[in-house]
């Protein structure tokens, strides 16, 4: 049975919106990175203020880049996974318009204009949150019915991750964005801690894993190693991730039993990730260390980053470790490894994979290769650098040295980080070039040559 036609127009629209958003977000990132090295480099105007640009940076990465990329991937994957078209292409146009022109553009403008919410991973103001929630409901309407109509008994794990990601985000997003407005101080922080983890764990991670689990068998032409392990990993993720959040506030006034729950859950989560990653790598056996298909190469590297970032996360939740690195650049490195390493590589793999299967899409394999290497080198240098910086900062703080010594010691690390950011920006430019230049349908050729 042939799968129903994919809405390639929407795949391409979201793919290009994703890359446009990531370029904007990376520029925001470069601005804040540079301002730490040369604080007076940019004119001191309100809309370029460090905090405001920092708000725009992370919201752009999560909502602009990753969400658009995941939507592009979903428009490709859902019809293939379910054998049914998505609910409505017209609805798709609405979702695209709402997401990019009622969430991203006004969100950025408002944050830079000073209308925002001072909560991590929830910086867009409440009015934008309302549009986000409407769009998430519409996305559920768009993608979920196909799964239910098909029946859930023999669903592939990617489908489960898509179901889980879309449904749980609908629960977690309002909680994280609304509750701290009314719950004061420490109680609000407890909820924020949950959301910081749920944003990554219940939204980004399931969709990234859906893409990884989808691309591997589609690219290698072989089934995954174990459907049992894949389902085990899936359920463990949804049982354990929500219980992790309080590990962002270890040694705080939040009741110690809540902190300990999160710390234990964080350790167990590491085990569940090892299960998932083992299954993924065993599914890729034979493809080599550096698969020839760029989409597979992206997701296999993303899988490796997933392993590293999760083990790192389990470690840094432990009290002795947390004491040494919390509040430092170590954590900034950790979040870059999660969002720019794991999630970005999975999302890029998903987009490139879908692109290769659109006959009318341009495709430039050389540029895609450049994108891969620039992103790998940029990310690895950045994370290694920030990790080292975090260790130095943590040690200086504990030693009782004057505070400003930690700033001085960070300077060189921040310079390296900025340069690594330039490589990352170059990687995303190359990705854009790879998807808008080259011969139309060239991706189809790559696909048959590599699989």
Partner 1 sequence: MTTTPRFVLRTAYLVASVAGVAFFVLSVALLGAWPARVLGQQTATMAPEFPLEPTASERRGRTIYAREGCAYCHTQQIRYLHTDMERFGRPTLAWETRRDSPHMWGTRRIGPDLSRAGGTRSLDWQHAHLFDPRSVVPLSVMPAYPWLFDGTPMQPTQEGRDLVAYLESLGRARALAGQEGEAKAQEACQCPDDAMLRMAFEGPLNAHPAQARRDQSIVPALPASTDISGGQQLYARHCASCHGETGAGDGPGARFLTPAPTRLAEHEYSTGRLAQVLWNGVAGTAMPAWRDHRPEERAALARAVQALSRPRPEPTPTPELLETGESVFRTHCVQCHGESGDGQGFARDAVAMAPASFIGQRPTLAEAVRAVRDGVPGSPMAPWTPRLTAGEILSVAHYVRSLYRTPVSGAQP
Helix (H) or strand (E) holding 342: none
Segment near partner 1 (CB under 8 A), from 91-99, 129-137, 176-184, 431-439? 176-184
3-state secondary structure of 76: helix
- Residue closer to partner 1 by CB (options 22, 202) is 202
In the complex, the smallest distance separating the C-beta of residue 55 from partner 1, rounded to whole angstroms, is: 6
- Is the backbone of residue 293 left (phi > 0), alpha (psi -120 to 50) or beta? beta
40 contacts partner 1 (rule: CB under 8 A): yes
Residue among 6, 15, 33, 52 that touches partner 1 (CB under 8 A): 52
The terminus-to-terminus CA distance of the chain in angstroms comes to 21
In the complex, the smallest distance separating the C-beta of residue 402 from partner 1, rounded to whole angstroms, is: 4
In the complex, the smallest distance separating the C-beta of residue 330 from partner 1, rounded to whole angstroms, is: 10
109 contacts partner 1 (rule: CB under 8 A): no
- Residue closer to partner 1 by CB (options 241, 363) is 241
Segment near partner 1 (CB under 8 A), from 1-9, 171-179, 212-220, 310-318? 171-179
User: Which of 343, 355, 348 lies closest to 306 in space, CA to CA?
Assistant: 343
In the complex, the smallest distance separating the C-beta of residue 161 from partner 1, rounded to whole angstroms, is: 12
41 contacts partner 1 (rule: CB under 8 A): no
The answer to whether 104 touches 159, Cβ cutoff 8 Å, is: no
445 contacts partner 1 (rule: CB under 8 A): no
Segment near partner 1 (CB under 8 A), from 116-124, 203-211, 338-346, 424-432? 116-124
Long-range own/partner contacts, residues 163-168 (CB < 8 A, 24 or more apart): 164/202, 164/206, 164/234, 164/237, 164/238, 165/202, 165/203, 165/205, 165/206, 165/207, 165/210, 166/136, 166/139, 166/140, 167/140, 168/198, 168/202, 168/203, 168/206, 168/238
- Which positions from 279 through 338 interact with partner 1, judged by CB under 8 A? 323, 326-328, 331-332
* Helix 256-283 and helix 294-316, axial crossing angle in degrees, nearest 10: 150
60 contacts partner 1 (rule: CB under 8 A): no
Binding track over 250-269 against partner 1, x by CB under 8 A: xxxxxxx-x--xx-------
């Amino acid at each position: 049975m042939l799968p129903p036609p994919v809405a390639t127009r929407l795949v391409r629209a979201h793919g290009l919106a994703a890359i446009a958003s990531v370029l904007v977000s990376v520029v925001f990132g470069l601005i804040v990175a540079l301002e730490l090295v040369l604080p007076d480099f940019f004119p001191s105007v309100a809309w370029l203020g460090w905090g405001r640009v920092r708000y725009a940076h992370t919201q752009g990465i999560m909502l602009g880049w990753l969400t658009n990329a995941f939507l592009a991937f979903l428009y490709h994957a859902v019809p293939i996974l379910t054998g049914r078209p998505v609910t409505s292409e017209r609805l798709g146009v609405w979702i695209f318009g709402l997401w990019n022109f009622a969430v991203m553009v006004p969100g950025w403008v408002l944050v830079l204009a000073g209308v925002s919410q001072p909560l991590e991973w929830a910086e867009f103001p409440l009015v934008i949150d309302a549009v986000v929630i409407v769009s998430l409901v519409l996305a559920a309407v768009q993608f979920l019915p196909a799964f239910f109509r098909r029946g859930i008994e023999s669903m592939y794990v990617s489908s489960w991750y898509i179901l889980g990601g879309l449904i749980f985000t609908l629960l977690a997003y309002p909680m994280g964005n609304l509750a701290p407005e009314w719950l004061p101080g420490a109680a609000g922080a407890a909820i924020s801690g949950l959301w910081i983890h749920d944003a990554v764990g219940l939204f980004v991670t399931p969709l990234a894993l859906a893409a990884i689990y989808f691309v591997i068998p589609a690219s290698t032409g072989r089934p995954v190693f174990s459907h049992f392990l894949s389902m085990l990993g899936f359920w463990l993720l949804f049982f354990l991730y929500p219980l992790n959040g309080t590990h962002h506030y270890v040694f705080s006034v939040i009741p110690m039993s809540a902190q300990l729950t999160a710390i234990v859950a964080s350790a167990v989560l590491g085990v569940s990730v090892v299960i998932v990653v083992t299954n993924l790598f065993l599914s890729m056996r034979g493809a080599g260390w550096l698969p020839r298909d760029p989409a597979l190469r992206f997701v296999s590297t993303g899988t490796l980053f997933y392993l590293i970032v999760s083990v790192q996360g389990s470690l840094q939740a432990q009290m002795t470790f947390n004491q040494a690195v919390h509040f430092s650049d170590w954590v900034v490195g950790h979040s870059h490894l999660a969002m720019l390493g794991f999630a970005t590589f999975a999302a890029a793999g998903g987009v490139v994979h879908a692109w290769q299967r659109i006959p009318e899409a341009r495709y430039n394999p050389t540029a895609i290769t450049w994108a891969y290497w620039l992103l790998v080198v940029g990310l690895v240098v950045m994370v290694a650098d920030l990790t080292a910086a975090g260790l130095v900062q943590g040690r200086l703080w504990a030693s009782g040295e004057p505070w400003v010594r930690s700033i001085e010691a960070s300077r060189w690390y921040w310079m390296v980080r900025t340069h690594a950011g330039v490589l990352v920006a170059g990687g995303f430019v190359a990705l854009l070039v790879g998807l808008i230049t080259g011969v139309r349908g060239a991706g189809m050729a790559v696909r048959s040559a590599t699989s």
